[in-house]
Amino acid sequence: MKAFFNKKISLLLFIALLGITIFSADLLISAQDSSPSSSVEAQTSQPRKDSSVPAVQPNSPPVQKESSQALTYYEQGLKLYYQRNFSQALSLFDKALILDPNCYQALNGKGAAYAFQGRYSEGLNLIREALRIKPDFEYGCFNLGLANELAGNWTAAVSAYQTALSYDSRDAWAYYGIASIYGRQGNADQTVFYLKQAIAIEPDAKETAKTEHDFDPVRSSSKFQALFNN
């Protein structure tokens, strides 16, 4: 029993010494790994992404600030556009695009203003560029319909208005645009169908329609007149 005990003690001492030796070796390896030269080697062997490049370069204006100012110019231009002051609106849209060439809102506004000036091809190209940047831009789809309508491309106009409605089913003026195209074509049924939806969403559309020349070919239709008798 004593001999077995002594052997056991000796074995335990051997295991303990072995553990200390292994532990010391681990400490030595860890110390080497944390040394400056090892750290540099570890970094250079791994992809560094963009950690060495600051997010914003010193002394350069933040991108967000430029985009914000571009949108301010766009919104100012849009107010003038709604007032049909297209020349001054274009000046502000251009200022926006100088700051941010990818400002799709300004591209869209500029394209629509060109269309009202009779520069249809240029206007359509600008609106398409806006939609290339942001394909789901509902107002861009609407203006694509409007520009095509002004250019006399009625089939393309209806298609673009329908696309706008797929993004915003309550765009009253997209319904109105489709109705006005069918009005020009003398299609009373389709005119009434779309105009009725426009009026349901935006009651003011009824007053606008009363003097809208696009509806002259269907104005004598009893179905069209019924819209204004209610």
pLDDT score of 71: 97
Q: Is the pTM of this model over 0.85?
A: no
Alpha-carbon separation of residue 97 from 111, 122, 218 (angstroms): 12, 16, 42
Residue 207: name the closest of 189, 228, 225 by CA: 228
- The widest CA-to-CA distance across the chain, in whole angstroms, is 123
Interval 38-70: pLDDT, tens: 333 333 223 322 322 233 333 333 445 668 999
Q: How far is CA 119 from the centre of its chain?
A: 26
pLDDT score of 6: 35
Interval 65-97: pLDDT, tens: 668 999 999 999 999 999 999 999 999 999 999
Q: Which amino acid is at 108?
A: N
Residue 126: name the closest of 141, 104, 153 by CA: 104
